[in-house]
């Protein structure tokens, strides 16, 4: 072992010997590092979640929703978008490879034999699967003939299948939707829940024409429509153009707010950032404060330790330790302590975040990044706050040190 290694081993020996000092330093560093680790993990989790959500939503997609923001705020569901609007967008944007209208009805009773299920019925065109990148895993998607012919056919969300068909193959079976017999033609893949906790697999898709005419007695208005563009980079510009086109079509004078809302991937990220932001700020403040406190605890305990151990320093100097050897030893002690604190902090961060996710559904993602940030910070604290005491130890004159 080289000289460096031999001296660092002395550091480890001292860390083991001065147990009370070790305990206080480790605990205070662990507290700081664990909250900072959680922040890093939460930020990463939020990013990952945002990424997942954008991927789910479609990074190249816009969703245009009927109704003004005010109406939505008071829970009113007014329908302002029309099938003609959809047609107009389709014609105005050759760069859009999907323009798919859809309309929906909540809490519709769906029955198969003696079983009943409250489902969300979504009317869509034959583009549904493509519009949402949501594959039909059994049976098939609608055909244009289904739409044009107002046929009574349905594609089921996976949860609907689970609830109504125990082990049977649903494809080809008939069920009753609002009392109307409807034949199942396909089943959608699992989609899970949205970040806001909404089950996405509880829906039943039918041709939009069937839903509008036969169930809603509606010929014109729809709930939402999706647009997907070939060139994802121009999405912001497209968004603005769609907005202007719809305002013009709805004859909204300047100053009047939109009577629709366009949801884009950017907006999803904003929403998530707001959700995560406050907790990150809170933990950030806690983390930085506790790390600084840990640093001062360390520095003070080390200054005390240097005083108490001046004889040891004198002995080491008398057998040939140079100033730098003493400095290295004490710095090594500090960094060893903060490293242990950092590791314990990381482990307790994992535990703490479990608790956090129990209280609130909060995206937390641990990776080597969170680990590395914690470790680097603990080293930083060790060096930054250990350097002064270590230098004080190194600068003791040998005879002064040994006389005390």
Partner 1 sequence: MSLCVLENVKKRYLIGEEEVEVLKGINLQVEQGEFIAIMGPSGSGKTTLMNILGCLDVPSSGSYVIAGKEVTQLNDDELSVLRNEHIGFVFQNFYLLSYATVLENVLLPTLYMERSRDGFTRKRAKEILGLVGLSDRAKFKPNQLSGGQQQRVAIARALINDPDLILADEPTGQLDSKTASEIMDLLSKMNQRGKTVVVITHDANTAAYARRTVRILDGLIVD
Interacting residues with partner 1 (CB under 8 A) = 1, 3, 6-7, 10, 13-14, 16-18, 311-312, 314-325, 398-399, 402
CB of 385 to partner 1, least distance (A): 23
Taking the chain, what is the end-to-end CA distance rounded to the nearest angstrom? Answer: 33
CB 331 → partner 1: shortest distance, Å?
16
Q: Which is nearer to partner 1, 9 or 266 (CB)?
A: 9
Using alpha carbons only, give the angle 74, 77, 78 rounded to the nearest 5 degrees.
115
CB of 290 to partner 1, least distance (A): 30
Nearest CA-CA partner of 306 in 401, 399, 403, 378: 401
Give SS3 for 296: helix
* Least distance CB 383 / partner 1 (angstroms): 22
Q: Which is nearer to partner 1, 316 or 392 (CB)?
A: 316
CA distance 372 to 229: 39
Residue 237 vs 311, nearer CB to partner 1: 311
Q: Which residue number, 261 or 316, has a Cβ lying nearer to partner 1?
A: 316
Residue among 17 and 376 whose Cβ is closer to partner 1? 17
DSSP 233: G
Return the number of other C-beta atoms located less than 10 Å from residue 22's C-beta: 19
Instruction: Round to whole Å and give the CA distance between 298 and 27.
Output: 10
3-class DSSP state of 231: coil
Q: Are 126 and 155 in contact (CB under 8 A)?
A: no
CB of 3 to partner 1, least distance (A): 7
Spell out the residues 6+ positions from residue 137 whose beta carbon is closer than 8 angstroms to its own. 187, 188, 189
The token duo for 107 is: 């809490």
CB of 314 to partner 1, least distance (A): 8
Q: Which is nearer to partner 1, 314 or 352 (CB)?
A: 314
| Closest separation in Å from C-beta 393 to partner 1 | 14
Nearest Cα residue to 221 out of 131, 105, 119: 105
The distance of closest approach from Cβ of residue 294 to partner 1 in the complex, given in angstroms and rounded to an integer, is: 24
- Which lies closer to partner 1 via its Cβ, residue 291 or residue 313? 313
Name every residue whose Cβ is closer than 8 Å to that of residue 270 and which is 6 or more positions away in sequence: none
Which residue lies nearer to partner 1 by CB, 125 or 336? 336
Distance CA 242, CA 238 (A): 6
CA gap 109, 92 in Å, rounded? 38
* Least distance (Å) between residue 21 CB and partner 1: 12
Residue with smaller CB distance to partner 1, 10 or 124: 10
Q: Report the candidate in 254, 342, 256 with the shortest Cα–Cα distance to residue 33.
A: 342
Residue 226 backbone class (left: φ over 0; alpha: ψ -120 to 50; beta: rest): beta
């Amino acid at each position: 072992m080289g000289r460096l290694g031999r001296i660092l081993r002395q550091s480890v020996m001292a860390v083991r010997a001065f147990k009370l000092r070790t305990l206080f330093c480790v605990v205070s560093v662990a507290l700081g590092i664990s909250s900072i680790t959680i922040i890093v993990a939460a930020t990463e989790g939020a990013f990952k979640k945002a990424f997942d959500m954008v991927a789910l939503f479609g990074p190249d997609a816009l969703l245009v929703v009927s109704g003004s923001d005010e109406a939505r705020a008071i829970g009113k569901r007014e329908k302002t978008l029309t099938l003609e609007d959809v047609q107009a967008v389709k014609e105005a944007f050759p760069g859009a490879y999907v323009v798919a209208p859809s309309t929906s009805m909540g809490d519709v009773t769906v029955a198969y034999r003696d079983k009943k299920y409250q489902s969300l019925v979504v009317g869509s065109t034959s583009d549904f699967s493509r519009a949402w990148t949501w594959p039909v895993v059994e049976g098939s998607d609608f055909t244009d003939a289904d739409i044009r012919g107002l046929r009574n056919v349905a594609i089921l969300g996976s949860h609907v299948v689970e609830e109504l068909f125990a082990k049977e193959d649903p494809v080809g079976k008939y069920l009753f939707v609002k009392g109307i017999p409807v034949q199942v033609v396909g089943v959608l893949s699992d989609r899970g829940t949205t970040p806001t906790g909404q089950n996405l697999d509880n829906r039943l898709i039918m041709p939009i024409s069937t839903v509008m005419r036969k169930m809603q007695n509606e010929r014109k208005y729809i709930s939402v429509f999706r647009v997907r563009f070939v060139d994802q980079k121009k999405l912001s510009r497209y968004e603005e153009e769609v907005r202007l086109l719809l305002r013009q079509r709805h004859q909204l004078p300047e100053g009047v707010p939109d009577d629709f809302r366009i949801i884009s991937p950017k907006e999803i990220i904003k929403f998530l950032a707001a959700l995560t932001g406050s907790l990150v700020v809170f933990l950030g403040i806690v983390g930085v404060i506790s790390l600084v406190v840990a640093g001062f605890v360390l520095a003070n305990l080390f200054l005390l330790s240097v005083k108490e151990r001046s004889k040891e320093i004198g002995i080491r100097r008398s057998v040939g330790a140079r100033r730098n050897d003493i400095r290295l030893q004490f710095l090594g002690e500090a960094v060893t302590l903060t490293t242990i604190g950092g590791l314990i902090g990381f482990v307790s961060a994992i535990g703490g975040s479990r608790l956090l996710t129990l209280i609130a559904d909060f995206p937390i993602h641990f990776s080597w990044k969170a680990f590395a940030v914690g470790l680097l910070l603990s080293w930083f604290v060790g060096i930054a706050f250990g350097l002064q005491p270590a230098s004080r130890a190194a600068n003791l004159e040998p005879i002064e040190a040994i006389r005390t």
